[in-house]
Amino acid sequence: MEIEAKFALHNPETLNKLKTLDALGDYTLLPGKVVQMDDRYLDTADRRLLKAGFALRQRSIDNKTVMQLKGRGGVEDAIHRREETSLTLPAENAIEAWRSSPLYAHIRQLTGDADLQTLCSLKQTRFERQLWQGDRLVAELSLDTVTVIAGAFRDSYAELEIELRADGAEADLATLTALMQQEWRLEAVSRSKLERALALLDAPSSPGLNAGDSMAEAARKTLFFHFQKMLKNEAGTRLGADIEALHDMRVATRRMRAALQVYGDYLDTKKLRPFAKALRKIGRALGKVRDLDVFWEKTQAWLDSLPEEDRPDLESLRLAWAQEHQANREKMLVYLDSKAYGNFKKRFDAFLQEPEAAALPPFDAKGRPRPYLLQHVSPAILYHRLATIQAYEAWISGSDVPLERLHQLRIDCKRFRYTLEFFRETLGPEAKKLIREVKTLQNHLGDLQDAVVASAMLQDFLNYGGWGRAKKDLSLLTEPMDAPGAASYLSYRQNELQTLVDTFPQAYRQAQNANFEGLLAKTIANAKFKMKNSK
């Protein structure tokens, strides 16, 4: 019987404190060790093991493979109980040993002849510490940093597990649970890691829009869908172990802000104003850290592309970047811990539970019925977004196109793509190709803008000796900073920028050849706009 208590670790500072703590109440903590674990949960395509109340885990740890079958159990507050059977496979002839084992035979009784396949994968960095009281080994404390891969979805978070060992009693676990909840203010976790992964895997892949939805209902569904994505990535963003969590949280926030723009003419903006304001603040808090993540991700990619002997020294640049990154991460965490952010989540969640949230009255001030159905108004919105892009055509030819104009075109391409993606469930199959073509142009412009920003950052670093000339404590150096590695990288980014500018006409011609207008006409013509009014 496995008996353990599980707690969420939302704050990296708490995680680090628990790594160095000497004692928990009357229990002594021994120094810990780091263990890397790769877990795969296996089942049949129709989940026969789960339906029978079991979970099969294949764990790779310390060059060993351990198969575990976990059975039904119960959860009471933070404490989880369940039966489990384990088998450590030998390094040689592992497959034969597995297939000849009683555990495998038991699994085959449950699954028949159906093949096992991977449901989801977990990569864990575990910091293990033993808990002793006198000469009793009471429990093992595990600080787990987890990355989940479930289909196309990822999640990252941190958890604390306290698992009873041979000399431990449930009274010990109750005492330790009380300590973690009352003194450390940790939140009990009621779901297993597999249950959390399955929730991610089984989450809806789209908002569920129908052509007969009102615009207010379509907006509510869209906002709720991306709000859930934002919340799912908050733990990983706080932890900071996987930069993709922050990226996904920021994207979800951007999508919500874009949705408010797309649906705005059909909503009561007065009701939405406080939420829009909060989303802007969240976007700023996340955006500064994400931009720095992107900067160093591309910097590292450049370094990795060079032979080791040709890699320049960027240590001074890295230190300046790390200082700026840490400062902005701390500001971000302060905001995520703030009462204002907590209140926003509660109020926005309650607001989005109401069907037709923020709907306008059906008639305007003159008594005329308002257009309100998605199938009636979405074509006009899409054509307006396309026309905004087409308006650039006369102003982006030649060799002296302002970079700011290309930046604005990128923003308008993104808005058009987001709008297409919002309505995609109700459009014809051509929407997929149109979105892909718009994204290709947007990506070229996005790389160009990244090169503009990176070049400016590097130039500031060389001129001011720090990160960002806007800082009050930075003044122009009397002569450029002696950092040949950073100067070399600046030259690379400037050359990259020039190449992207030079090849933009070709990228734009490719977009013209894709015929955005023709694809949009087809996807609207083949849209699912034959449905009856859902009211």
What are 425-467's pLDDT values in tens digits? 999 999 999 999 999 999 999 999 999 999 999 998 998 888 8
> Which amino acid belongs to residue 462?
L
Q: Which of 147-156, 267-276, 313-322, 435-444 has the lowest mean pLDDT?
A: 147-156
Q: Which CATH superfamily is domain 373-526 in?
A: CHAD domain (1.40.20.10)
Vertex 125: Cα angle to 191 and 24 (nearest 5): 70
Q: Is a pLDDT exceeding 70 seen at residue 534?
A: no
Q: Exposure string (b/e) for 299-315, b if CB count within 10 Å is 16 or more?
A: beebeeeeeeeeebebe
Residues of the chain with CATH 1.40.20.10: 207-368, 373-526
Would you place residue 6 in the very low, low, confident or very high pLDDT band (cuts 50, 70, 90)?
very high
Which residues neighbour 281 within 8 Å (Cβ) at sequence distance 6 or greater?
335, 340
Instruction: For the chain, give the number of residues.
Output: 535
Answer yes or no: is pLDDT of 532 > 50: no
For the chain, the average pLDDT equals: 92
* Model confidence band, residue 533 (pLDDT cutoffs 50, 70, 90): very low
Q: Is the pLDDT of residue 198 over 70?
A: yes
CA–CA gap between residue 355 and residue 360 (Å, rounded): 13
Instruction: Please state which of the ranges 89-98, 328-337, 433-442 shows the lowest mean pLDDT.
Output: 89-98
What 3-state DSSP class applies to 145? strand
Residue extent(s) of CATH 2.40.320.10 domains in the chain: 2-201
Mean pLDDT of 388-396: 94
Residue pair 451/496 in contact (Cβ under 8 Å)? The answer is: yes
The pLDDT value given to residue 187: 93
Residue 251: pLDDT band (50, 70, 90) is: very high
52-92 pLDDT per residue, tens: 999 999 999 988 999 999 987 888 888 999 999 999 999 88
**Cα(497)–Cα(513) distance, integer angstroms:** 24
Interatomic CA distance for residues 417 and 413, integer angstroms: 6
pLDDT in tens, 204-244: 889 999 999 999 999 999 999 999 999 999 999 999 888 99
Can you give the pLDDT at residue 529? 83
- The pLDDT assigned to 473 comes to 58
Look at the block and give the residue holding tokens 């037709």. 356
Per-position DSSP letters for 72-131, written without gaps between them: EEEEETTEEEEEEEEEEEPSSSHHHHHHTSHHHHHHHHHHTTPPPEEEEEEEEEEEEEEE
Residue 502 CB coordination number (10 Å)? 10
CATH code of the region 207-368: 1.40.20.10
**Mean pLDDT of the region 179-202:** 92
Residue 401 has pLDDT above 60, yes or no: yes
Q: What is the pLDDT of residue 201?
A: 87
Q: What percent of the chain has pLDDT over 90?
A: 83
The predicted pLDDT at position 479 comes to: 66
Within 10 Å of residue 254's Cβ, how many Cβ atoms?
19
Please calculate the CA angle 295-298-302 and round it to the nearest 5 degrees.
135
CA 125 vs. chain centroid, Å, equals: 19
Q: Please, what sign has the CA dihedral across residues 360, 364, 369, 371?
A: negative
C-alpha span between 414 and 392 (Å, rounded): 14
Q: Which CATH architecture has domain 2-201?
A: Beta Barrel (2.40)
Side-chain-side CA neighbours of 141 within 13 Å: the count stands at 24
pLDDT tier for residue 476 given thresholds of 50, 70 and 90: low
Cα dist. 197→12, 192, 227 in Å? 21, 9, 18
Let me know: does 413 contact 442? Beta carbons within 8 Å. yes
